[in-house]
């Protein structure tokens, strides 16, 4: 499998204090990888080093086969970055903005195709300043992908989205991934990581404290299940057995039955608890 990103022993200090304290990462080409962690954990520092915007103190880093500490123009053109607040020219229309930026890249996508991808076709002739917050966010994403990046960094992409826009956005990201784009995402929404990411890493205090598929992270898939019904609730390793017994007791349907395992949020919160 080709690696889009390879990191070994990454370290970064600010004023003698570890912000990133030894991180290893392997992100495969075409993967959607989410980086989770509380504020101050070292996520932005890590991502900015990968993007070529920050110098590291130590460690080996390869992004699309090159050292991001020595970024070249050609390398930069292969990477898309969607920041939290992009400054856009308010007086330009969506189409003008996309046309303008597409000219910077050697193999850019057609601006109108990108506008359609992010669901802004009907607003293509509108000035940026007349767009809603959610529509501006789509412009940010459009600008991030117009250069046809092989690797796309998304920093909390759906903050402030309503549930419907968030789902549409997830479809857009999945579509890019299906086309082979590698996606590195930071998010505070655990359900977003769960819906989108092939793998997640949880960072706390500059270190990776867990890494894996969202469905199995931190022993989630093998954790005890909670069986709840209208009259009670038990935690058990053998939920099927419990349900069978209950079904016999009730002689059929069990009123109010649910069987749950810890959510990604439960696991996440237990992982970042200060020890
Ligand atoms: P996150 O993105 O997970 O919130 P950051 O990477 O922004 O975490 O920050 C990690 C730690 O490094 C925090 O303690 C933060 O205060 C510190 N830090 C980040 N940037 C700087 C900087 N430019 N100068 C000094 N300290 C910084």
Domain housing 266: 222-272
3-state secondary structure of 9: strand
In this prediction, residues 230-248 reach a mean pLDDT of: 95
3-state secondary structure of 73: helix
Report the pLDDT value the prediction gives residue 273, as an integer from 0 to 100: 84
Q: What confidence tier does 181 reach under pLDDT thresholds 50, 70, 90?
A: very high
| Selection from 95, 92, 76, 43 nearest residue 272 by Cα | 43
Report the predicted TM-score, pTM, of the whole model to 2 decimal places.
0.89
Question: Which tens digits make up the pLDDT trace of 86-135?
Answer: 677 889 999 999 999 999 998 999 999 999 988 899 999 999 999 988 88
Q: 266 lies in a domain?
A: yes
- Ranking 8-12, 181-185, 260-264 by mean pLDDT, the lowest is 260-264
Query: Tokens representing 81?
Result: 């970055």
Q: 183 lies in a domain?
A: no
More confident site: 163 or 195: 195
Q: 246 lies in a domain?
A: yes
The total of structural domains in the chain comes to 1
Question: Which tens digits make up the pLDDT trace of 201-215?
Answer: 999 999 999 999 999
Question: Which tens digits make up the pLDDT trace of 141-177?
Answer: 899 999 999 999 999 888 777 888 889 889 989 999 9
Maximum C-alpha span of the chain: 70
Using the mean position of ligand 1's atoms as its centre, give its distance from the Cα of residue 177 in Å. 29
Q: 257 lies in a domain?
A: yes
Does the beta carbon of 45 lie inside 6 Å of ligand 1?
Answer: yes
Q: What confidence tier does 1 reach under pLDDT thresholds 50, 70, 90?
A: low
Q: 253 lies in a domain?
A: yes
Closest ligand 1 atom to Cα of 12: 12
Q: 236 lies in a domain?
A: yes
Report the pLDDT value the prediction gives residue 166, as an integer from 0 to 100: 86
**What mean pLDDT is reported for the chain?**
93
Residue nearest atom 6 of ligand 1, based on CA coordinates? 42
Does the beta carbon of 157 lie inside 6 Å of ligand 1?
Answer: no
Burial 79-108 (b: 16+ CB within 10 A, else e): bbbbeeeeebeeebbbbbbbbebbeebeeb
Question: Which tens digits make up the pLDDT trace of 30-40?
Answer: 999 999 999 99
Using the mean position of ligand 1's atoms as its centre, give its distance from the Cα of residue 32 in Å. 24
3-state secondary structure of 52: coil
Q: 237 lies in a domain?
A: yes
Is pLDDT of 137 > 80?
yes
Q: 41 lies in a domain?
A: no
């Amino acid at each position: 499998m080709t690696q889009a990103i390879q990191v070994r022993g990454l370290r970064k200090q600010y004023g003698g204090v570890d912000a990133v304290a030894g991180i290893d990462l392997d992100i495969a080409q075409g993967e959607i990888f989410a980086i989770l962690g509380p504020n101050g954990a070292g996520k932005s520092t890590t991502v900015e080093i990968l993007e070529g915007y920050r110098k590291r103190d130590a460690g080996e880093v390869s992004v699309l086969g090159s050292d991001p500490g020595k970024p070249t123009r050609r390398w930069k053109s292969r990477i898309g970055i969607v920041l939290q607040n992009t400054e856009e020219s308010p007086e330009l229309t969506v189409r003008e903005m996309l046309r303008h930026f597409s000219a910077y890249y050697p193999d850019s996508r057609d601006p109108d195709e990108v506008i359609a991808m992010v669901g802004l076709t009907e607003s293509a002739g509108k000035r940026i300043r007349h767009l809603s917050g959610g529509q501006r966010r789509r412009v940010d994403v459009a600008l991030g992908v117009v250069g046809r990046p092989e690797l796309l960094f998304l920093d909390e992409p759906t903050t402030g989205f309503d549930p419907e826009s968030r789902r549409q956005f997830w479809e857009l990201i999945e579509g890019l991934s299906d086309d082979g784009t590698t996606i590195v995402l930071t998010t505070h929404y655990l359900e977003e990581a769960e819906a989108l990411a092939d793998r997640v890493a949880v960072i706390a205090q500059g270190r990776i404290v867990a890494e894996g598929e969202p469905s199995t992270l931190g022993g989630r898939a093998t954790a005890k299940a909670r069986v709840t019904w209208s009259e009670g609730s038990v935690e058990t390793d053998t939920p099927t057995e419990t349900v069978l017994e209950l079904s016999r007791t009730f002689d059929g349907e069990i009123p109010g039955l649910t069987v749950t395992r810890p959510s990604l949020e439960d696991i996440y919160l237990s992982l970042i608890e200060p020890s």
